[in-house]
């Protein structure tokens, strides 16, 4: 069965900014060429999956909803008011006439827009979503309007299904084509122990991750931190929201927590970053530069966000092993479904265990290399984006076969 697949995607702002810093010439090229260049160069979900779907002979395309330059260029070429963002999204989807509309980020579409797609884009047979992050009221509202969801851990799958929506487990994967772009070398690792990612406090985000890293620093273990941090004004705002939320609770007005999205930040106290963490931070890296950093590092620390619960499956696991570095990751119930702990990755149960195993890896180079190579081989055999796309295609074909035309 053949079908046309169109994705509404988004990208990390850091990746978008990095792309435009490298390609100022995009202002002078048409939308079609502009998007093609972005998808070819990006290492993010949108580019990797579109490229691999096409490799598997699926007619696939996408838009990047939060790339304002690109979206405004589409609007100018089509004579649409650039302020009408929903109209731009609708026109892009309608012009492709997809059989399947895949929403890769539910936060960028409203439930009303999804209803509009279904009513007025007559080619659409299914609307699916990909969701593997914390829920908020907007996401939950949009979730009602999709037919089913792809998600990346068993725990989130169970959570989605508890809300009455069908969900399919499809783990993240590694885009093996990236190895050609990073000068892959499984032997040379000039960097030692690193962490790369975001450290955002509050809610189901990175509070525990921050505490782990600060404990590692207190033990004087050398770790380089390539991190995205919140500015001090945003942290102070969260602290103020917490105090306001505590006041609402005191006067018996807790029902407002769910009514106003910003109050979700007030459920837990948010600490400021420690001096020790700020002292060791380096600028964050994105895109191909991030993969090059992983490839040239001996050990990469991973820690799942709170919404993952007891289950592993974030992208970092496959990115790190995919480029041949040794993954040190938090232990989860399903880790054996993905890797063999101690042979292909190293797992830890708590901060003390993490510190002990980091020291062991730094002091046992031959064993570290064997684990890194075995993890790399496992990922290239089982955990590639191409394999994930094959799984998604099988699911979509099965659903289409049982859906009325």
d(CA 59, CA 393): 12
DSSP letter for 181, please: G
Q: Kindly tell me if the per-residue pLDDT of 262 is higher than 60.
A: no
- CB 346 within 8 Å of CB 374: no
Give the pLDDT of residue 97: 96
Give the pLDDT of residue 240: 79
User: Residue length, the chain?
Assistant: 405
Number of C-beta neighbours around residue 38 at 10 A? 24
| SS3 (DSSP) at 309 | coil
Return the CATH number of 4-173+385-401, one of 3.40.50.300, 3.40.50.2000, 3.40.50.720, 3.40.50.40: 3.40.50.2000
Can you give the residue ranges of every domain in the chain?
A: 4-173+385-401, 176-232+270-382
Q: Kindly tell me if the per-residue pLDDT of 173 is higher than 70.
A: yes
* CATH class assigned to 176-232+270-382: alpha beta
d(CA 154, CA 168): 9
- The mean pLDDT value for 17-32 works out to 93
DSSP letter for 8, please: E
Q: In DSSP terms, which residues pair with 199 in a beta bridge?
A: 229
- Paired tokens of 266: 């007030």
d(CA 243, CA 168): 39
Q: Is the pTM of this model over 0.85?
A: yes
Query: Per residue in 324-360, pLDDT tens?
Result: 999 999 999 999 999 999 999 999 999 999 999 999 9
């Amino acid at each position: 069965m053949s079908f046309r697949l169109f994705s509404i995607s988004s990208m990390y702002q850091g990746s978008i900014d990095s792309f435009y810093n490298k390609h100022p010439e995009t202002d002078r090229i048409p939308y079609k060429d502009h998007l093609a260049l972005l998808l070819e160069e990006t290492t993010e979900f949108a580019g990797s999956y579109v490229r691999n779907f096409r490799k598997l002979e699926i007619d696939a395309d996408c838009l990047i909803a939060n790339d304002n330059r690109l979206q405004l260029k589409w609007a100018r070429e089509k004579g649409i008011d650039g302020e009408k963002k929903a109209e731009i999204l609708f026109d892009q989807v309608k012009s492709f006439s997809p059989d399947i509309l895949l929403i890769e980020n539910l936060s960028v579409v409203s439930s009303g827009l999804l209803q509009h797609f279904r009513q007025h884009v007559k080619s659409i047979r299914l609307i699916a979503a990909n969701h593997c992050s914390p829920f908020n009221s907007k996401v939950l509202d949009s979730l009602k309007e999709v037919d089913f969801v792809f998600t990346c851990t068993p725990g989130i799958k169970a959570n989605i299904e508890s809300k009455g929506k069908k969900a399919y487990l499809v783990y993240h994967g590694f885009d093996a084509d990236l190895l050609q772009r990073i000068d892959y070398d499984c032997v040379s690792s000039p960097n030692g122990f690193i962490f790369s990612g975001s450290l955002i406090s509050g809610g189901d985000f990175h509070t525990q991750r921050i505490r782990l890293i600060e404990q590692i620093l207190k033990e004087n273990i050398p770790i380089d931190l390539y991190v995205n941090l919140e500015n001090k004004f945003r942290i102070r705002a969260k602290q103020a929201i917490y105090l306001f939320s505590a006041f609402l609770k005191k006067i018996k007005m807790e029902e407002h927590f769910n009514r106003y999205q910003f109050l979700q930040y007030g459920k837990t106290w948010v600490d400021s970053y420690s001096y020790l963490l700020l002292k060791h931070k380096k600028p964050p890296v994105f895109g191909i530069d991030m993969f090059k950093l992983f490839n040239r590092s001996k050990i990469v620390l991973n820690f799942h966000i709170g919404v993952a619960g007891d289950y592993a499956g974030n992208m970092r696991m496959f990115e790190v092993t995919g480029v041949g570095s040794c993954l040190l990751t938090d232990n989860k119930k399903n880790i054996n479904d993905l890797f063999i702990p101690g042979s292909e990755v190293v797992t830890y149960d708590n901060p003390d265990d993490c510190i002990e195993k980091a020291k062991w890896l730094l002091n046992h180079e031959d064993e570290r290399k064997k684990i890194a190579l075995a993890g790399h081989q496992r990922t290239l055999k089982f955990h590639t984006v191409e394999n994930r796309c094959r799984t998604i295609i099988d699911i979509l074909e099965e659903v289409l076969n049982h859906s009325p035309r």
